[in-house]
Amino acid sequence: MKVDPDRLASRLEAELGRAAVRRQPELLAARAVDGLYPCLICSPANAEEVSAALQVCSETDAAVTPWGGGTAVQIGNLPERVEIIIDVSKLNHLVEHDDANLTAIVQSGITLAASQEITAGARQFVPFDVPNPQRSTIGGIVAGNLNGARRVCYGSVRDLVIGMKVALPTGEHIKAGGKVVKNVAGYDMCKLFVGSLGTLGIITEVTLRLTPLPQAEATLAASGDLLQLSEFAGEILDSVLLPSATVLWKSETSSSSEAPQSGWQMAVRAEGFAEQVSRHLRDLQLMAERLSLRTAVCSTAAHEKLWAGICDFPLLGHEVVFRVTVPRSAIADLLRCVQDWDSTDFSPAIVADMAAGAIWIGSNEIRSAAARFAQLRSKAARHKGHVVLLDAPADLKRDLDIWGLAPEAFFLMRRIKQQFDPQRLMNPGRFVGRL
């Protein structure tokens, strides 16, 4: 460790007050990142204190790990250093809700669930689908670029973020974007920080584009074999229907289990006006009947439970989670490849977004994980896709770059990192190419 914990704590206490700095062993253990323990936790009360804390860290050469709800802390390579956690959970307020223009400005430490509760009064919501919305913070969702099953319908995180404020490693505070959707002045700096995993600065405030709450919503659930359901998905996506999400999944099975392996299932989510939802369910059932699929309609509590389970998939306790992204036309081919592993020592659970081409693969089998990662990268590359090892034990990460091969534009990413964080203090080593 390069820093003197006592000196760092004294400096931070002088700037932010003693209550903002904690060093209790049990709290530090709860904030460990891939087995590395911080020397202290700093909890700024506002954006100005975030800047002050970062300035102290810059002056003392202390490595910073930003922390929101901690739900996505498993994402990333092994960190080079974990010295100070800057916890933004106190930045948890609504700054402004402009319901007439369908926008809201929130502090980065507010949870998604709290944001939804606030905007629901105006019959609006933030269309993010992420694991554990009670803990996931808006800043963490944006920094991790965590897109869900309704991305194709409502837009990605990058589409929905129209402005933000960021504290840079030097303590300088900058503003990007604005309060209106049609904001085209200058460079779109928001895109730079979305998905940067806290390696360029700490997001303190986010301006979001909202969506009206649907009048009605329901789900058609179908079950069958992979070929049938792939054909079903193809018909849906080629039709005039506009479901908000189309997801295919299969549960994990054990090679030593005597029970038969679980079959494939698909959920098609329809939302909007009541007449629109009824039309979707009717037409979807007719398509499913032609393909001899078994179907059921889920609404209210069953509908919510089903989609909560799909959103929570990356956090369901699998030892290893891969995220594969390929063109929509290549999903079936990749799923057949993974299905062929079922007769070996690797029979994973799978959730596939059939509209966006995002596939999550989860397993408790660690021994063959590195080999499977290489196989998935090779397979995805043939379709111009890519693979990320979203979650894995630290021992497995040690010899791998979880982001896969660096992109062709990596030299630009490296120069941006050098420009914003020349001391390599912000989440060092965790991003693409160990930036």
State pLDDT tens for residues 159-213: 999 999 999 999 999 998 877 666 555 678 889 999 999 999 999 999 999 999 9
Overall fold of domain 94-212: 3.30.465
Please give the pLDDT value at position 158.
94
Cβ neighbours, 10 Å, residue 192? 16
Q: Please answer whether residues 60 and 42 qualify as being in contact, where contact means their C-beta atoms are separated by less than 8 angstroms.
A: no
Q: What three-state secondary structure class fits 210?
A: coil
- Region of 34 on the Ramachandran plot (φ > 0 left; ψ -120 to 50 alpha; else beta): left
Q: State the Cα–Cα distance between residues 243 and 222, nearest whole angstrom.
A: 14
Q: What three-state secondary structure class fits 178?
A: coil
Q: What three-state secondary structure class fits 407?
A: coil
Q: Please answer whether residues 381 and 407 qualify as being in contact, where contact means their C-beta atoms are separated by less than 8 angstroms.
A: no
Residues of the chain with CATH 3.30.70.3450: 214-299
Q: For residue 60, how far is the Cα from the chain centroid?
A: 31
Residue 343: band (very low, low, confident or very high) from pLDDT cuts 50, 70, 90:
low
Residue 347: band (very low, low, confident or very high) from pLDDT cuts 50, 70, 90:
confident
Q: State the Cα–Cα distance between residues 412 and 20, nearest whole angstrom.
A: 36
Cβ neighbours, 10 Å, residue 426? 28
Q: State the Cα–Cα distance between residues 314 and 324, nearest whole angstrom.
A: 13
At 398-435, the pLDDT tens digits run: 888 999 888 888 999 999 999 999 999 999 999 999 99
Strand pairing report for 245-250 and 264-272: antiparallel
Class of the CATH domain delimited by 5-89+421-434: alpha beta
Residue 255: band (very low, low, confident or very high) from pLDDT cuts 50, 70, 90:
very low
Residue at 393: amino acid letter: P
**Average pLDDT for 353-367:** 91
Residues of the chain with CATH 3.30.465.10: 94-212
Give the E-state strand segments of 20-150 in sequence order: 21-22, 40-42, 64-67, 84-87, 94-98, 103-107, 124-125
Six token digits for residue 195? 């998905």
* Rounded alpha-carbon distances, angstroms, from residue 171 to 44, 190, 344: 13, 18, 52
Residue 372 pLDDT > 50: yes
At 275-319, the pLDDT tens digits run: 999 999 999 999 999 999 999 999 999 999 999 999 999 887 788
Please give the pLDDT value at position 256.
40
Burial class (CB in 10 A: 0-12, 13-18, 19+), 129: buried
Residue 257 pLDDT > 50: no
- Reply yes or no on domain 312-403 having CATH 1.20.58: no
Pick the CATH number of 214-299 from 3.30.70.3450, 2.40.10.220, 3.20.20.10, 3.40.50.970: 3.30.70.3450
Please give the pLDDT value at position 200.
96
Residue 341 has what DSSP assignment?
A: G
Q: Please answer whether residues 72 and 52 qualify as being in contact, where contact means their C-beta atoms are separated by less than 8 angstroms.
A: no
Six token digits for residue 123? 């019959």
Six token digits for residue 234? 């193809």
Q: Which residues contact 65 (CB under 8 A, 6 or more apart)?
A: 31, 33, 38, 79, 82, 83, 84, 85, 86, 198, 427
Strand partners, 125: 211
Please give the pLDDT value at position 342.
63
Q: State the Cα–Cα distance between residues 433 and 406, nearest whole angstrom.
A: 6
Six token digits for residue 276? 């629109």
Angle at 317 between CA 316 and CA 318, to 5 degrees: 105
**Average pLDDT for 381-400:** 91
**Average pLDDT for 127-156:** 94
Residue 258 pLDDT > 50: no
Q: State the Cα–Cα distance between residues 321 and 310, nearest whole angstrom.
A: 14
Q: State the Cα–Cα distance between residues 340 and 375, nearest whole angstrom.
A: 12
Residue with tokens 């806290």: 198
- Region of 361 on the Ramachandran plot (φ > 0 left; ψ -120 to 50 alpha; else beta): beta
- The helix (H) or strand (E) run that includes residue 233 is helix 226-238
Q: Please answer whether residues 198 and 427 qualify as being in contact, where contact means their C-beta atoms are separated by less than 8 angstroms.
A: yes
Whole-prediction pTM value?
Answer: 0.92
